[in-house]
Chains A and B, each alone.
Chain A
Amino acid sequence: MRKRLQLIKEALSIGVVTRKYPFIPAEVPEGFRGLPQFDASKCIGCTACGNVCTPNAITFVDDTSLGIRRLEYYLGRCIFCGRCADVCPTSAITITKEFELASLNDRDLRLVIDIKLIKCQSCGRYFTTFRHLNTVAGKLQEGVVDLVNICPECRRKLALDSLIKLGGLK
């Protein structure tokens, strides 16, 4: 019995630990993985984040009739692992500390980014985004830069043709 009374004494000495949230903002520690923020002006549509996303919260669909690559981010499927931000080559995705994400409908949990696609100069099919191409071209040496506007399949054919012309293959 005495022990139980001690427990009451102890509880009184600890006092109230309850936090006042939502009336005052919550403390979020440094490095908390919250909402991924997409900076559309930096996105080049390279699909790296889509490949690494475990729950397929980030998906890419190429719509050739409109000539766009559509990035769809579905917050309702996200597991907040932050892998997308790790792999993004242009740092277009940053992990914020935002966690108050409740929504009254499904649509508000979605983000859509449409990125224009570019056609292959040789075969005329869409193959990648204009921005992706620009970034890649900026990193290449002169001489190969003009090959950038051609899709990988055509490039392979072209390379083979030039080899044959050189007499390397018969």
Chain B
Amino acid sequence: MHQLISSFEGLQGKVKGINYLNDGVVLVDTTPNSLFDVVNFITRELKGIFTVIIGVDAREIDGSFHNIYVFSLDELKKYVLVRVMLEGSDPKVPSITPLIKGADWSEREIRDLLGIKFINHPDPRKLIVPESWHDGVFPLRKEVSYKLRAHGPYEPYQPRRSEDVIALPYGPYHPLLHEPEYFELHVKGETVIDIEYRGFHVHRGIEKLGEARLTINQIPFVAERICGICGYVHSVCYCQVIEGAAGIEVPERALYIRSLILEIERIHSHLLWLGVACHVLGFDTGFMHAWRIREPVMHLAELLTGNRKTYGINLVGGVRRDLKEEHIDKVIKVLNEVKEGYTKFINYLTGVREVIKRLEGSGLLPRTEAISYGVVGPVARASALKRDVRVDHPYAAYKDVYFKVPVYNDCDNMARLMVRVEEVFESIDIIKQLLDKLPKGPILAENVEVAEYREGFSAVEAPRGEDVHYVMTGKYSRVYRWKVRAPSYSNIPALKVMLHECPLSDAPLTIASIDPCFSCTDRLIVVDVNTGKRFKVPMRALAKGWRP
């Protein structure tokens, strides 16, 4: 820790102060003018990887806006938070997007929600709020009510595209499954040149809701509903932040139960992804088999927690539901069956030549680009980047178990598949180790008191990668600011690189390979810019090599 602090000495005069939020998190204060130097120092000298920017409307506390730039130092096992205070009446700060590509979304988000100006930001369009949202209304500012629905008439999204490309809209309505998201693929001939993204159809105002209506112990239940597939990750991460900020000792047994459920969630999520990936490839048999193997895991989750998906067992200070002795044997039995069926299935899958040929060499994401975009989870690990929060910043009971982090150097879709395949085996192993060592004792801390205006920061390895939460606590057991950065937020912008110069028929697979929860049966509208002719193509036909 001292080593890290002394390394900042070279920046004298530019850094105003260094504090610890908790054991693994360092908070560095600086000014807008020195921001570039500090960021450059962290990314180049300390090998920090950009995570997210957190905007806080702290005008009630000290009359200013805070921008907190988060970097993960994987080698030193630390997070560095660089805080910049901005003038309350007219907040502006230089954009760091020219330095770090991954900061693009974070800056646009803060501009939309908090009204902070980013000087020299390359993209002036809205990201989070709908096109119809009134200019000058910033929902995360404290004076704006969480109920305010400041909508004007509907304005369709205007993508940027040049004249000589064909634009393929991907979404926003996926006629079959999953979330509404809108991609536009710019195509020259058969090759994808660029990608435009307009998502945030699912923006529900969760952060504002947590800050306005809910109490500290209600938020775990909302956090769980951020994502329906890996929601437990969010509720664990939120609880860890509050526990860290308030110094609450969580009983060991509760930590073990959390880790256990997290791993069950990872197994079902990876199996789900595997099924969807097979479906995208047109290998529907694989889809059905993957989901057949997955179903007993869902039954297991239901048995242990009371619900198949939204487990609802987390509270600040521990868990609500204990693991019964008689369930342990059942867990082991089911996992052994799953492992057996899964091993056979993977054996078949990797024996199907067409599947392998489609996966190998497509959707390349080189290591340097992976660092620049700050990608996380299996996407990073498939690009030779050994990042895993469970190892880099241990939490819950992961310090007590031994497991391998699969890393592949191939940077392609096959590598991303293999990372996930191996992780399922590792997860099964972790669960067995946890059950072996499961300590006895209470499951919920007794004294849960949270002081006001404390800051906390924590990360959890979700099935899709690093999930990050930041909380500043408020008065009357509420939170003042709650910021969530889900893993896909870092991974989706990297699609720009993965899809560059890739054949059109590989695009659906590559988009699915980062696991942003997309269905393969999506439909595309192909618009030929020159003739204005429109074709509607099912994704599946495109995946099989459709051409105009």
| Real binding pair | yes
Seen from chain A, the residues whose Cβ lies within 8 Å of a Cβ on chain B are 3-4, 6-7, 10-11, 14, 17, 29-33, 52, 54, 79-83, 86
Nearest residue, chain A, Cβ from B341: A14
Flag whether B141 is at the interface (Cβ < 8 A): no
11 A-B residue pairs with Cβ-Cβ distance under 8 Å, sorted by A, are A3-B348, A3-B351, A4-B351, A4-B352, A6-B348, A17-B292, A30-B303, A31-B303, A31-B321, A54-B222, A81-B221
Chain A residues contacting B306 (CB-CB under 8 Å) are: 31-33, 82
- Asked if A3 and B352 make an inter-chain contact with CB atoms under 8 angstroms apart, the answer reads yes
Nearest residue, chain A, Cβ from B354: A4
- Asked if A7 and B285 make an inter-chain contact with CB atoms under 8 angstroms apart, the answer reads yes
- Asked if A81 and B302 make an inter-chain contact with CB atoms under 8 angstroms apart, the answer reads no
- Asked if A29 and B302 make an inter-chain contact with CB atoms under 8 angstroms apart, the answer reads yes
Q: Give B345-382 interface residues, CB cut-off 8 Å to A.
A: 347-348, 351-352
Q: Give bound CA distance, A79 to B231, whole Å.
A: 14
Chain B residues contacting A10 (CB-CB under 8 Å) are: 344, 348
Q: Give bound CA distance, A11 to B320, whole Å.
A: 40
Number of A-B contacts (CB under 8 A): 50
Q: How far is the CB of B343 from chain A (nearest CB, A)?
A: 12
- Asked if A29 and B352 make an inter-chain contact with CB atoms under 8 angstroms apart, the answer reads no
Flag whether B132 is at the interface (Cβ < 8 A): no
Beyond known contacts A4-B348, A4-B352, A79-B312: 20 more, CB 8 A cutoff: A3-B347, A3-B348, A6-B348, A7-B285, A7-B348, A10-B348, A11-B285, A17-B292, A29-B302, A29-B303, A31-B303, A32-B306, A33-B306, A52-B218, A54-B214, A54-B218, A79-B225, A80-B312, A81-B310, A83-B221
Q: Give B219-233 interface residues, CB cut-off 8 Å to A.
A: 221-222, 225
Nearest residue, chain B, Cβ from A51: B215
Q: How far is the CB of B339 from chain A (nearest CB, A)?
A: 15
Seen from chain B, the residues whose Cβ lies within 8 Å of a Cβ on chain A are 214, 217-218, 221-222, 225, 285, 289, 292, 295, 299, 302-303, 306-307, 310, 312, 320-321, 344, 347-348, 351-352
Chain A residues contacting B225 (CB-CB under 8 Å) are: 79
Chain B residues contacting A17 (CB-CB under 8 Å) are: 292, 295
Chain A residues contacting B344 (CB-CB under 8 Å) are: 10
Chain A residues contacting B307 (CB-CB under 8 Å) are: 32-33, 80
Chain A residues contacting B217 (CB-CB under 8 Å) are: 52
Nearest residue, chain B, Cβ from A56: B213
- Asked if A81 and B312 make an inter-chain contact with CB atoms under 8 angstroms apart, the answer reads yes
Q: Give bound CA distance, A11 to B225, whole Å.
A: 35
Q: How far is the CB of A82 from chain B (nearest CB, A)?
A: 7
Chain A residues contacting B292 (CB-CB under 8 Å) are: 14, 17
Closest 5 CB pairs of A and B: A3-B351, A33-B306, A54-B218, A81-B312, A29-B303
Nearest residue, chain B, Cβ from A30: B303
- Asked if A54 and B352 make an inter-chain contact with CB atoms under 8 angstroms apart, the answer reads no
- Asked if B289 and A11 make an inter-chain contact with CB atoms under 8 angstroms apart, the answer reads yes
Q: How far is the CB of B355 from chain A (nearest CB, A)?
A: 10
Chain B residues contacting A83 (CB-CB under 8 Å) are: 221
Chain A residues contacting B321 (CB-CB under 8 Å) are: 31
Chain A residues contacting B351 (CB-CB under 8 Å) are: 3-4
Q: Give bound CA distance, A79 to B235, whole Å.
A: 15
Q: Give bound CA distance, A7 to B284, whole Å.
A: 13
Chain B residues contacting A52 (CB-CB under 8 Å) are: 217-218
Q: How far is the CB of B311 from chain A (nearest CB, A)?
A: 10
Q: Give bound CA distance, A32 to B305, whole Å.
A: 8
- Asked if A54 and B221 make an inter-chain contact with CB atoms under 8 angstroms apart, the answer reads yes
Q: Give bound CA distance, A31 to B313, whole Å.
A: 12
Query: For A10, A17, A31, A86, which residue has the most chain B Cβ atoms within 10 angstroms?
Result: A31
Query: For B302, B303, B307, which residue has the most chain A Cβ atoms within 10 angstroms?
Result: B307
Chain A residues contacting B302 (CB-CB under 8 Å) are: 29, 32
Q: Give bound CA distance, A83 to B289, whole Å.
A: 37
- Asked if A29 and B348 make an inter-chain contact with CB atoms under 8 angstroms apart, the answer reads no
Chain A residues contacting B285 (CB-CB under 8 Å) are: 7, 11
